[in-house]
């Protein structure tokens, strides 16, 4: 009985996105590690609706990417472009790993839950930018900061400092209510 399918993607591999498992084609019948807490682990599980919301960002971002291949970036709205950038951010900063790094290459369930919760908070944030160039620069900076954060142990001061820096970055672009 097959309980999971990891759809390998030549396109992701060629783009050097590792692991080259396509998150939109892959599936599992097993409970997610981010939504399930094992005995003795006192961390909070993530809600299944957060997992589905993240998948939806990936799907929508992929649709915008496909549309941009036809009409170009200038043919998309700023809101659609932000969805595309959020999908790219989730893919690059959370789904991809640095297999050669001690911390990023092997993340325990507690760390995965913590990081995923942080990612979903960012993805759910309603952001405002002057234009697409400003949005692109912001997400490039956020992605690099998150990648740096991925390489620091949870219990280090540097981890908390980078987390606070990202929170300030998000606050600067958060749409005022």
Which H or E run includes 112?
helix 109-124
Per-residue pLDDT at 37: 65
Per-residue pLDDT at 107: 80
All structural domains of the chain: 45-173 (1.10.1140.10)
**Nearest 10 degrees: Cα torsion 14, 76, 171, 24:** -40
- Is residue 67 a contact partner of residue 75, using CB atoms and an 8 Å limit? yes
Burial of 135: CB neighbours in 10 Å, binned 0-12, 13-18, 19+: buried
Q: Give CA–CA dist 174/61, Å, rounded.
A: 20
Per-residue pLDDT at 102: 84
* Nearest CA-CA partner of 90 in 48, 131, 62, 49: 62
Tokens 């030549």 correspond to 10
Per-residue pLDDT at 177: 59
Mean pLDDT by 10 residues, the chain (177 residues): 78 80 75 65 74 93 95 95 97 84 81 90 96 98 95 94 97 88
Per-residue pLDDT at 96: 82
Per-residue pLDDT at 39: 58
SS3 at position 173: helix
Per-residue pLDDT at 76: 96
Whole-structure pTM value: 0.87
Per-residue pLDDT at 4: 77
């Amino acid at each position: 009985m097959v309980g999971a399918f990891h759809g390998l993607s030549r396109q992701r591999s060629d783009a050097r996105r590792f692991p080259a498992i396509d998150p939109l084609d892959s599936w599992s019948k097993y409970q997610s590690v981010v939504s399930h807490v094992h005995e003795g682990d006192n961390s909070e599980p993530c809600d299944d609706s957060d997992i589905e919301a993240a998948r939806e960002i990936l799907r929508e971002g992929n649709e915008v990417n496909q549309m941009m291949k036809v009409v170009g970036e200038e043919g998309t709205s700023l809101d659609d472009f932000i969805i595309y950038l959020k999908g790219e951010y989730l893919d690059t900063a959370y789904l991809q790993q640095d297999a050669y790094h001690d911390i990023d290459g092997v993340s325990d369930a507690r760390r995965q839950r913590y990081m995923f919760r942080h990612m979903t908070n960012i993805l759910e944030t309603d952001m405002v930018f002057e234009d697409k160039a400003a949005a692109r620069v912001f997400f490039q900076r956020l992605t690099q900061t998150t990648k740096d954060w991925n390489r620091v142990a949870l219990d280090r001061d540097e981890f908390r400092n980078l987390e606070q820096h990202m929170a300030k970055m998000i606050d600067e672009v958060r749409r005022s209510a």
